[in-house]
Homo-oligomer: A and B are copies of this chain.
């Protein structure tokens, strides 16, 4: 029986790993990383590998989801590390991997870390208690334009809740859904304005947890025409009513966006 350690790397770069996480990784015989549910800043994973004096093998989505590579490593080791940007279980797919490890007779351990799930509300100064269900928005594709994200945002607004909208990424192809594109997609799929409307104030957060983390608050249409710099971006669709402290916290982010297209 081996231990599969799910270790969160946090949101910025290699400096966001905790000492607990670092100690664990030094004791792992093999370390695997996935970079398809979230990514750190460029080069962070390589610098981390160097610092802990340990190879980190990158696995694509197919390798992680087939589970074979990691189960094989568990069969041959006492301790295997699996690292992801953010928190390892914020991405649902990794629970499947730990279930597979359990079924194969192994055990798992968990080192949580910062996640966009809490950092976005924290940075904006919104109350974590006032968030409804989080929504994730896939890249548009021919014949694929689900309206479920808009419906979920609408439901959250009905119960007076904010919605965090996470944006799709295909880092291996260098493709990241930008906040501007995401807003345009949502506006297009929501002609009835159940979740979003052109003049309704929303928030964009970019590069949460990094040195260049920033946010902007303004009417959806205006933000849809804005460039927010490098990924990752996410949106927060605001509840119909803001608490006065939320309103004051958002004030500093209500300013001209960096560059309009």
Chain A contacts to B: CB under 8 angstroms: 8, 10-12, 14-20, 22-23, 87-90, 92, 95-96, 98-99, 102, 110, 112-115, 117-119, 121-123, 125, 127-136, 155, 159, 161, 208-209, 213, 245-246, 248-249, 252
A136–B129 Cα distance when bound, in Å, is 8
Please give me the residue from chain B that is nearest to A51 by CB atom. B19
What distance in Å separates the Cβ of A224 from its nearest Cβ neighbour in chain B?
24
B102–A122 touching, CB < 8 Å: no
Other A-B contacts than A18-B114, A89-B123, 17 sampled, CB-CB below 8 A, are: A8-B114, A11-B112, A16-B19, A16-B20, A17-B18, A87-B119, A89-B122, A90-B122, A95-B249, A112-B114, A112-B119, A112-B208, A128-B134, A129-B136, A132-B133, A132-B161, A133-B159
By a CB distance below 8 angstroms, the chain B residues around A123 are 89, 110, 112
A113–B10 Cα distance when bound, in Å, is 7
B112–A98 touching, CB < 8 Å: no
Question: Which of B19, B127, B213, B252 meets A17, CB within 8 Å?
Answer: B19
A99–B133 touching, CB < 8 Å: no
By a CB distance below 8 angstroms, the chain B residues around A130 are 133
A87–B99 Cα distance when bound, in Å, is 28
B129–A131 touching, CB < 8 Å: no
Question: Which of B155, B213, B245 meets A95, CB within 8 Å?
Answer: B245
